[in-house]
Every structure is written in C-alpha cells, then in structure tokens.
Amino acid sequence: MTVETKKETYLNYVNGAWVASTSGETKPSLNPANTKDVIGYVQMSTKEETDQAVAHAKVAQKAWKKLSGNDRGTFLYKAADVLESRLDEIAECMTREMGKTLPEAKGETARGIAILRYYAGEGLRKVGDVIPSTDSKALMFTSRVPLGVVGVITPWNFPVAIPIWKMAPALIYGNSIVIKPAQEAAITLAKVIECFEEAGFPAGVVNMVTGSGSVIGQALTDNPDVNGITFTGSNGVGKGIGQGCLARGAKYQLEMGGKNPVIVAADADIDLAVDSTISGAFRSTGQKCTATSRVIVEAAVYETFKEKLLAKTAEITVGDGLESGIWMGPSASESQLNTVLHYIEKGKEEGATLLAGGNRLTGEGYDNGFFVEPTIFENVTSDMTIAQEEIFGPVIALIQVNSLENALTIANDVEFGLSASIFTSNIQSMLSFVEDMEAGLVRINSESAGVELQAPFGGMKQSSSHSREQGEAAKEFFTSIKTVFVK
C-alpha cells in the first residue's frame, strides 16, 4: 500500500455514492501491533446523515423487494466474486486494523465469500407453505415478506464475517440496509462495501455510515423508518438497543456476551482437549464471543491436563499478525488491552493462582503495540469475577471438579449461555451435556469457538435476544410471515 492510501479518509456510502460527513471530524484507525502505522481516517458522522441514509434506504427498498429472489441472488454472487478477487488485500487490511493474524484474516474473508454464496442460493428456496383451509373451495398459503429497512450494527472482532452474515440474509430476503461498523474496524468494512458497489447493487440498497455508537447506533434505534436492527456487541449496549426498538415496535436481534466453558472429563482425549482449549481460548487473542474462558476439569486428569496446557501455551508466539510464524496478535485496542489487564489483576486480588502469563509484553517489537501474554489461572472458584464476567482476551480460568455433575452445575453458573464444549469418550456423558447445558451452541470433543454458516447461531440467557442468525434460521428475523386466503 502507498502512503497516500494509508492516510486516506474513508467516507460514508449512501445512495450509491461515497459521501463526506458534514461534521468534518475524523479519527485515525491505528494498527494495534504498531500504533505508528495509521491505516486511514474514519469519519465521525452525524444523526442527520444517518437519517438521510435511512431515507434513501427506504426509497430503494421498494424497488429492491420487487425483484425476484433469483435476481437479488445474482447481486450477492457478484459481490462474492469481487470479494474473492480482493481477498488478500482485505485480509491484510483486517490484520493491520484489528490485529488478528493474517491466516485467520484470510480464513475469515473466505468465510464471508462463502456466506454470500450461501445466501445467494436462498433466492431460489421456498418462502412459504400451502396450508389446508376448512373451505374446500379456497387456497390458503403463507409467504415471507421483508421487514423494510434494517439497521446493522457490528463489532470489531470479525469485521468481515459478522457484517456479511447479517447483510447477506437481510438483502436476499428483500430488505435494504444501513450498516454502522465498529470504529476500530470501519476501514475493513469500507473495503467490503466497495465490493457491493462494484457488484452493482442499486443505489440506496446498501448504505454505510461511520461514527460513534452513541450517535449513529442511537439514530438507527430511534428512527421510525428503521424496521429492524440486528446487533452484535456488548450486553449493555444491546439491551439499550432492544429497549429502544421495543418502545417503538421495531424488531430487534441481539447477539451479546459469552462466558464459554469447556468440560474435560476423566475419560477425555487429553491431547485433543489441550489443543482445542488453546485454540478456543487464545486464537484471535481470545476476542471471540465463543472463545473458551472457563476450563472445568475432573480431578483425576487435572494435573496431567494442566501440565500439558502450560507446555503448549509456552510455545505460543505473540507479535504482529502480518509476520510469518506469529500465532497470536495484539489486543485490538488500548482500551481492550486495559480491560484484559484489569481482569488479570482482579483474578490475583480475589485469590486465583496465576500459572502463566499475566503481563503486557514490552521491548523490541512490542512497545508500540497492545500485546498481552496468554494467561492461565488456577484455584478459580465459580464466584470469582474472572469466572463470571466476559474478559474478551486470552485468559483461561481453570476449575477443578470431582464429578461431571459438578462440572455441569459450574458450567451453567453464569448469566451467559452462548457456547460450550465437552471432551469425553462416554456417550451418556455426551447426552447429559447436550440435554443439561444451557447454551445455544454445544460441541462434543471440539473447541467452544466454532460456528458453521449453514447452521443457526445464537445464545441463551443473557447472551442473546433468543433469535438465531445464519443458516435458514436467519429468515425468521429478516422477514415477516403473511398468510394469504384466496377464494
């Protein structure tokens, strides 16, 4: 990339054009591995500009919904092809902007391509059912109709996959969208939006406005012409959005926090459990809503598991995700780094034993970035802060138990219920886990952090508003059912 590109100010995309904000205010997007590297500048837009984007989206949606599902799918296929042609460029931007390693960024971008193609195919799948009527001379059937304008509010940790898994179903089912990306990943999304522009989407169908959540997110929540909001982010913000939408009768979909457990049974494949725990907890620097946070281990294998976990953790290389051989990148921002360090100190204060890590990395290659060591605590009890609150960083809380029943009790002893996994070779243990674990995603002999695009995804308890994203389940949020009676 040229210096000029690095210093570019990325504009809003509204009604088919790139538009400068009237606020004149921008913020730099910095590489969390090297804050001297400025990727570009992001506009801090206004409520009025958000409302204008919504107004254009409302107009454009009227014609967009009239297209056949097949025709809308053609646009998604084109966007997938453009994104594929720019995979390396967008993945590199992602790594520079939010820190995950380049192989992970490439994998995420490839997933975005697959999601677009999956939902492009949805344009030719059924949208209703024929239902027998009590009147023998009547035809009764259901159809699905779009909501209208959908507000899309996305986080920084998956700056390609999460926006696309919200945008693609919204679009294929006939909605128009206004998306507000997280500031920390807005440039990556701008490049994704360029792919939609190149694919030829009609003006106003896809819109992007950047800025603070308190301004842009609130404007979307309050606007009477926004018929639904799909959000991924923190519980506090999500609940505020839900309350705002409820007050005016808009539909909302919230995917929020997790405190995801792994249970390691006495009969587990210990090497598999260790490898999967490390991958689930430390990849993406623990910045996944499905990341492994608590590891609950039966006493009979606790010491063996711990020894192998520490040995494997010691092998992790931390550094700039663009460099070869780096396994874990930085925290995505100084704020996120400070949050992780706060929880590490909280663990120490409350009596947990620090086994590994726990420090900010300094010295050559680290001083200009937000790097933290992969961290492991033991002697953690379920009432400790690090066992209850989402950290969103590379921190594992080890908890020793004497039975699987106790393990399940502790696994469920949090306000969240997003994902969970168990390692066992016992079928009855597997079935008990599937039945009793209070989580929207349960996995057997596999890490907690894993979502397939064709399957429903969402949480229980405080992890979600109980709707589901991805797969065919997405149509439940992005459409309404219309029942038709023909005499």
- Collapsing DSSP to helix, strand or coil, 480 comes out as strand
Q: Look at residues 447, 444, 425, 424 and name the one whose alpha carbon lies nearest to residue 434.
A: 444
> Three-state DSSP class for 377?
strand
Task: State the CB neighbour count (10 A cutoff) for residue 454.
Answer: 11
Tokens of 23: 């606020």
93, 289, 390, 469: which one is catalytic? 289
Residues in the chain: 487
Write phi, then psi, for 210 (nearest 5 degrees). Answer: -105, 155
Give catalytic status of residue 255 as yes or no.
yes
Q: Which two tokens stand for residue 250?
A: 């808009």
Pull the structure tokens for residue 298.
């039966």
Q: φ, ψ for residue 366 (rounded to 5)?
A: -120, -25
Longest CA span, the chain: 81
Structure tokens at 378: 């033991």
Q: Identify the DSSP state of 62.
A: H
Given the residues 92, 255, 378, 447, select the one marked as catalytic. 255
Six-digit token string for 140: 């009764």
Q: How far is 444 from 423, CA to CA, in rounded Å?
A: 6
Are the CB atoms for 177 and 150 separated by under 8 Å?
A: yes
Cα separation, 5 vs 75, in Å, equals: 28
Distance CA 319, CA 296 (A): 29
- 446/458 Cα distance (integer angstroms): 18
- Which sign, positive or negative, has the C-alpha torsion 412, 413, 419, 422? negative
Residue type, 373: E
Q: Tell me which amino acid residue 377 is.
A: F
Active site residue 289: yes
Tokens for 17, please give them: 């054009």
CB atoms inside a 10 Å sphere around CB 327: 18
Alpha-carbon gap, residue 387 to 259, rounded angstroms: 8
3-class DSSP state of 470:
coil
Whole-angstrom distance, CA of residue 324 vs CA of residue 255: 33
User: Which candidate, 99, 97, 31, places its Cα nearest to that of 329?
Assistant: 99
Between CA 164 and CA 154 the distance in angstroms is 10
Query: Among residues 19, 161, 73, 48, which one has the least CA distance to residue 470?
Result: 161
Q: Which residues are catalytic?
A: 255, 289
